[in-house]
Amino acid sequence: MEILKKDITKNILWTILYAIVTLIFVINHEIWADEAQVWLLVQNLSVFELLKHLVNEGHPAFFYLLVMPFAKAGFPIFSMQIICWLCSSAAVFLLLQFSPFSKFSKFAITASAGMFYFFPVIARSYSILPLLIFASAILYKKSNKNPSKYSIPYAVILALCANTHVIMFAFVFILGCYFIYDNFLKEKNISKQTISATTIIFLSLIAVIIQLCGTFESNSMIKFETTEIFQNIVNTLIIFFLNSVGLLYKSMFGKMHVTLFSSIAGFTMFVMFIIFHIKLWFIQKRMAVLSLLAIGFQLFIYVVSYRAMLYHTRVFSAYLILIFSFWIALLNKNIEIKGKFLNTKKINIMLGIFFLLTSFCGLHAAILDLLCNYSSAKQTADFLQQNTPQNAVIIPNYDAFSLAVRQSAPEKYFFSPYLGKELKYMIWYNPGVISDDMFTKLVEKRVKENSFKNVYILVSSFFDVQHLEKTLPKKYQLIYESEPSIAIGEAFRVYKYKN
């Protein structure tokens, strides 16, 4: 009992240290478009309107519903960041206190890029996945040993996981199948609790399907494509493993390139990833199947749809499944792990090295965020608020990249030239991007239609500004240019439109 108390005290202290360090990054992080979109949606929509809109987002509802009360109550967007940070900190404590990993592996996972920076700092739905997945790992065995007490909490955690992000669909589905097999076929443990738990798991999966059915038709950014499938697979795997060790940021740091270190580290992680699943197969086959199919499902989505948007948070969401699989496999006392290949100590060393290879990416991203603007949206919004009249009309050249500026300047009127109405949040079915010539003509048309006065054009750094300026009539006067940004497209220029 004294040892347990010492462990709890030590793990609480380590968690507090982790929380303090990551909170520094959270406080210094500038909100960018994808984070702002979540907040703008829950601010402007009712629950019913949100559920109706989410098919256009391609995301299930749980994270939005979690954040919505704070937005409706008038809290600042920082409250959403705090929710994500708290979830990551709680996940670290669960890892330290309850996982079967060695101290080295626990440290490596905590110091990995996902847990050190991307999950606690980038405020998106991915941030709550570590807490949900680690909690499900703790409840997995308990629900089998004592289903009357733990099966429903376990099912609820899985249901929340499935409704946090669509990439967790296969993970929850497979665990639901395991639950049915263990309780109904293997142990014949048919009770109110196990029936209720099964119902919760599979109704949650049906809810995801209902919410997102039609996303491919609704969202112009998410397309189902199978052309050049082999090339897509290769490209996705390259990005998947190189993103985990750090693709250098572009825009303010030149063209995207991969260092020799990241190339070697990424290839090393790819080889280790394959070895891990071979080891899992010999340790506990069902965890090998879970990891291969659940991560394979994510990779399938990336290959046919998301390959151009394989962000770090998506990569590390897949690694969470690997952590879950080894967590359960190493808890299995009925399997004696012997020999050089299946040595528990060496498995932990390999896991530690695997996750430590990503830590440079997290440290690099965190330092950049401290030293530079992740997004220059807040800076640009401050300029607009201080240097434009109260009745100013802000017209972005691309709706999506203006979202963080829109969120940071709530009293300003943003007008989408594509939608022909006020821009309150992004709707992904509109084309969004047109040629520079057509954009200037569209602005002229919208200004005339609406008799706008005091018009300002907001231009994202995602576009070729020099080419745009050649097409702009002389009535467009550059009045502001923000500092560069880490996030692509999140630096801005403001032009005054001379009516």
Closest by CA position to 396, among listed 462, 343, 352: 462
pLDDT at position 308 is: 61
Residues 334 and 197 in one domain: yes
Q: What is the pLDDT of residue 336?
A: 56
What's the pLDDT score for residue 431? 55
Query: Cα separation of 23 and 121, whole Å?
Result: 8
Q: What is the pLDDT of residues 72-104, one digit of tens each?
A: 999 999 999 999 999 999 999 999 999 999 999
Rounded-to-integer distance, Cα 458 and Cα 412, Å? 12
Higher pLDDT, 118 or 239: 118
> Quick one: pLDDT band at residue 250, thresholds 50, 70, 90?
very low
Q: What number is the average pLDDT over the span 436-449?
A: 84
Mark whether 315 and 209 lie in a shared domain.
yes
Backbone angles phi, psi at 399, to 5 degrees: -55, -45
Q: At 249, is the pLDDT very low, low, confident or very high (cuts 50, 70, 90)?
A: very low
| pLDDT at res. 78 | 97
- The pLDDT-based confidence of 119 (bands split at 50, 70, 90) is very high
The residue range of the domain holding 482 is 377-497
Exposure of 478 by Cβ count < 10 A (0-12 exposed, 13-18 middle, 19+ buried)?
middle
The model's confidence at residue 254, banded by pLDDT at 50, 70 and 90, is very low
In this prediction, residue 4 carries a pLDDT of: 57
Higher-scoring residue by pLDDT: 34, 2? 34
- The Cα 25–Cα 116 span in angstroms is 10
Please give the pLDDT value at position 434. 64
302 and 237 assigned to the same domain = yes
- Domain edge (last residue) among 343, 371, 399: 371
Report whether pLDDT(54) > 70: yes
Is the domain of 331 the same as that of 388? no
Write the DSSP string, 47-100: HHHHHHHHHHHT--SHHHHHHHHHHHTT--THHHHHHHHHHHHHHHHHHHHH--
Report pLDDT for 8: 92
391 lies in the same domain as 357: no
Residues 243 and 229 in one domain: yes
- Phi-psi category of residue 83: left, alpha or beta, with phi > 0 → left and psi -120 to 50 → alpha: alpha
Shared-domain flag, residues 84 and 224: yes
Query: Is residue 395 located within the same domain as residue 366?
Result: no
Of residues 251 and 284, more confidence is placed in 284
Task: Give the per-residue pLDDT at 256.
Answer: 45
Give the pLDDT band of residue 415 (cuts 50, 70, 90): very high
> Domain check: are 367 and 396 in the same one?
no
Structure confidence at residue 188 (pLDDT) = 78
Which of 317, 342, 371 is a domain's end point?
371
Which of 371, 406, 433 is a domain's end point? 371
Separation of alpha carbons 108 and 353, rounded Å: 7
Domain count across the chain: 2
pLDDT band at 3 (very low <50, low <70, confident <90, very high): very low
Q: Greater confidence, 260 or 352?
A: 352
Whether 440 and 356 map to the same domain: the answer is no
**The domain that contains 420 carries what CATH number?**
3.40.50
pLDDT digit string, tens, across residues 35-51: 999 999 999 999 999 99
| Residue 400 contacts residue 33 (beta carbons within 8 Å) | yes
Same-domain pairing of 488 and 385: yes
Q: Confidence class of residue 338 from pLDDT cuts 50, 70 and 90?
A: low
371 touches 252 (CB < 8 A): no
In terms of domains, do 412 and 463 share one? yes
Give pLDDT tens digits for 447-487. Answer: 899 999 999 999 998 776 666 666 666 778 899 999 999 98
